[in-house]
Every structure is written in C-alpha cells, then in structure tokens.
C-alpha cells in the first residue's frame, strides 16, 4: 500500500515538472517586449496629416481694391482711401504731416451743406399748360345773345337716317345732386317742363352713386365745385367751358390756371348763373367740327357709335338740347346739330346716360328700348317756360 501511494506522488511531481519545462520553452515568444521603467508607449493606427489652412489676411475696408471694369482687363486695382482730415486751428494745420500713399486714389471729403441753404430744394409744383404754345387751342370765346322769352318746344325729327329728339327755347337751368337721380326725378323736384342728362362725371360705373363732376361746375344757386385733380386738369385743358346768364350764352376753351375758381368764372360773363365743362366742341360759329379737330381734346371714346346728346344755343338765341335715338359718332352728331340750327353746341355725357324727357314723354334713352330707363346721373339740365311760376320765382339748382 505504501509503495503504491509513493508511486502516485512521484507521478504527480514528474507531471508538474514537465508542464513547467514546457511553459518555459514557449514564454519568450508570447510575452510583450520589455519596456524601460517609467516610460509608456501608445500604439494607434496611422492618421493622415492635418490639412493646411490658408492664411487669411484681413484688409481694411478703406484699402479694398476697386472693381476692375470688364472692358479694362489690364487695369491694375487701385486702393481707395478717404482723404484724412487734418485739425486746423486759426488757419494752420496741427499734427504730423498727412501720409502719402503711392498709387492710391484720394477721395476728398464731401463738404457739408451750408446751414443757410437746404441740401435739397423742395420740388416745384407741376406747371399745367395754360397757353397756346403749350398745346392748347386758341382761347376763342363765343358769346351769343340768349333769348329766354320763348316757351319750351319739343320736336321729333329725322336727319338722314338718324332719329332725333329736340328741346328748344325756355329757360335752361343746371342742377346737381349729391345722390344720382334720373332726369325725370330732376324735373319732378324742380317742377320743370323738360330735361336732359348733363355733362361728364368721374366715376362712370353704372352701379356707383359718386357725384363728383369732371371739371369745374357752377349751379344756379351759386354753388361752385372746382377741379382739384392735377392730372385731370392736364387732360381736360382745351375742352369747351359752357356758361350762361339770363341774356348771354358763352363757350370758351378751358384754362385751369385762369378758369378753375369761382371768381375767375364770374369775370368771364357778367351775371353768370350756370357753368360746366363739356366733352368736346361740336359746332363753333355755326360750323360743324370735324373728327380730326375733335381728336386732341375730346374723350377717347368720342367717335364710338352710341346714342349721343348735345347742348347749345341756336342762331336766334334759343337754348337747344338734342338726343339721338339712333347710335351715332360725335362727328356725325356735330353735323346733325349744325343742320338743326345750332350756332354753338357741345357734347354732353352719352351712351347709357342718354336721357331726354318732355313732360311725361321719354323721348330718348341710352338703351334700345324706351321702357328701360337710363342710368341715374349726378347732373342734368332742366328747362322752364319763362312765364311759369318756377321761372317767375327764379328757380335754382337743388343739391
């Protein structure tokens, strides 16, 4: 038993010794290299070198080179420097001499404006044409004796193929309202015998109630409206201005600088009661105006074919108003007005505004059917019989 145990112990010792000898043979190949004491070594993968950052050179704004135009490719850039200001005391400069840079453009300092004079003068107001040399027609004033002692007459006639309704005689009165009305309403409010739509207004929209007129307006009650739109004043220069008193009828070319105030208008005709600006001259001195002569001062649609209305005075001094039921141009209307005896005649608002009424008879409208009323207007001319109650009481234009 003892021999067996002894043999087992010796076998274990020999096995352990063999393992030690084996480890001693492989240890140098697997252990890391010896590092000197107090030193460390970091092993990392290879990295590319850092990129080279270009050096940025900051140039003062005053030294920035001027851009070179493309048509001077060989022109070298020139630095631009403001001129340095030197301190001045009693006329002598104080401080070191000013630096001189070669090749530099020196821009002198802009002098400050004098306190006595403003840096920029105010803009002058626009000058409106008021002379023949500035494009206006000759200021020819036509004055005709007005006969208001004849009762109002209604005439239906035909000139060529054009159907026409006329009102002659009586006392014409210009009326204006702040809310658009029909010509029949104008007549009813004034108690007039007849009436016709008036002159042009600014807002032509059918559904509008605006009552601002184009150009100056004077009504029989002494109310005056002046034109304040400078652009419109330049457009309506040269159009006929119509005015009348109890015994005279006047037509003249409108001038904004001398005819846009009430005092200026009243100086044109003593006793003036009514005045307004018409669309264009149709008959001058008993002669029809041609389309070429109308073109410069008439509305742009003057030669369009539509129902047309005119107002004026005859050779025997009667007030006259006419409306066509057949669509015509303004040039054709001028010929018709001349043939029915007009000495001076002007164009009133036409188209859908056309309306001529005598009593309860609607003689002309702006539509094909007389059953359709013309659009309401802010201005109308109504006629009274001279011996009527309204005429004896000096009818005035209502507002």
Residue 29, CB half-sphere, CA atoms under 13 Å: how many? 5
Q: How far apart are CA 224 and CA 275, in angstroms?
A: 9
Which residue has tokens 């004034």? 190
pLDDT average per 10 residues of sequence, the chain (399 residues): 64 67 56 50 53 50 46 49 50 52 50 46 39 46 88 94 94 92 92 94 73 91 92 91 94 93 93 94 93 84 88 95 93 95 93 90 76 78 82 47
Q: How far apart are CA 320 and CA 341, in angstroms?
A: 9
Cα-Cα-Cα-Cα dihedral of 246, 257, 276, 315, to 10°? 60
Torsion sign over Cα 249, 252, 255, 257: negative
The values of phi and psi at residue 259, to 5°, are -140, 20
DSSP state of 169: S
Closest CA to 383 of 215, 228, 244, 217: 244
Rounded to two decimals, the pTM is 0.64
Q: How far apart are CA 77 and CA 75, in angstroms?
A: 6
Paired tokens of 280: 């264009």
CA angle 196, 199, 204 (to 5 degrees): 110
- Quick check: 265 and 259 in contact, CB under 8 A? yes
Q: Residue 100's pLDDT is what? A: 53
Q: How far apart are CA 93 and CA 365, in angstroms?
A: 88
DSSP state of 182: -
- Quick check: 203 and 212 in contact, CB under 8 A? yes
The values of phi and psi at residue 133, to 5°, are -65, -20
Closest CA to 220 of 258, 181, 188, 176: 176
DSSP state of 41: -
**Total residue length of the chain:** 399
- Quick check: 106 and 81 in contact, CB under 8 A? yes
Number of C-beta neighbours around residue 374 at 10 A? 25
- Quick check: 183 and 380 in contact, CB under 8 A? yes
Number of C-beta neighbours around residue 213 at 10 A? 19
Q: Residue 298's pLDDT is what? A: 80
Paired tokens of 51: 């990129």
Full DSSP string of 306-351: B--EEEEEETTS-EEEEEESS-B-HHHHHHHHHHTTEEEEEEPP-G
Residue 167, C-beta contacts closer than 8 angstroms, at least 6 positions apart:
152, 153, 154, 155, 194, 196, 320, 321, 322, 356, 358, 383
Q: How far apart are CA 51 and CA 6, in angstroms?
A: 76
Residue 301, CB half-sphere, CA atoms under 13 Å: how many? 10
């Amino acid at each position: 038993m003892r021999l067996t145990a002894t043999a087992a112990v010796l076998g274990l010792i020999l096995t352990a010794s063999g393992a030690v000898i084996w480890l001693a043979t492989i240890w140098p190949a697997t252990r890391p290299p010896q590092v000197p004491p107090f030193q460390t070594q970091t092993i990392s993968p290879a990295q590319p070198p850092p990129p080279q950052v270009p050096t940025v050179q900051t140039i003062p704004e005053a030294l920035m080179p001027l851009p070179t135009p493309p048509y001077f490719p060989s022109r070298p850039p020139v630095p631009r420097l403001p001129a340095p200001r030197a301190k001045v005391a009693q006329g002598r400069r104080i401080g070191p001499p000013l630096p001189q840079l070669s090749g530099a453009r020196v821009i002198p300092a802009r002098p400050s404006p004098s306190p006595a004079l403003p840096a920029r003068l105010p803009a002058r107001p626009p000058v409106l044409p008021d002379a023949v040399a500035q494009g206006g027609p000759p200021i020819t004033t036509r004055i005709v004796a007005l006969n208001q002692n004849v009762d109002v007459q209604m005439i239906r006639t035909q000139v060529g193929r054009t159907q026409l309704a006329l009102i002659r005689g009586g006392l014409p009165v210009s009326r204006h309202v702040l809310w658009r009305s029909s010509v029949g309403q104008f007549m009813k409010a004034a108690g007039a015998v007849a009436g016709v739509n008036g002159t042009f207004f600014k807002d032509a929209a059918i559904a509008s109630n605006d009552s601002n007129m184009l150009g100056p307006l004077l009504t029989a009650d002494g109310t005056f409206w002046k034109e304040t739109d400078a652009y419109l004043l330049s457009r309506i220069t040269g159009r006929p201005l119509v005015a009348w008193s109890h015994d005279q009828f006047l037509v003249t070319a409108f001038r904004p600088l001398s005819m846009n105030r009430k005092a200026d208008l009243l100086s044109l005709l003593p006793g003036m009661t009514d005045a307004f600006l018409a669309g264009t001259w149709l008959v001058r001195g008993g002669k029809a105006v041609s389309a070429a002569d109308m073109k410069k001062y008439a509305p742009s649609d003057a030669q369009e074919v539509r129902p047309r209305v005119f107002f004026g005075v005859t050779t025997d001094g009667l007030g006259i108003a006419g409306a066509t039921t057949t669509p015509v141009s303004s040039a054709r209307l001028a010929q018709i007005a001349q043939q029915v005896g007009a000495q001076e005649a002007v164009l009133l608002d036409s188209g859908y505004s056309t309306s001529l009424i005598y009593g309860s008879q609607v003689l002309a409208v702006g539509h094909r059917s007389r059953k359709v009323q013309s659009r309401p207007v802010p201005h109308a001319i109504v006629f009274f019989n001279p011996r009527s109650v309204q005429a004896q009481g000096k009818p005035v234009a209502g507002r």
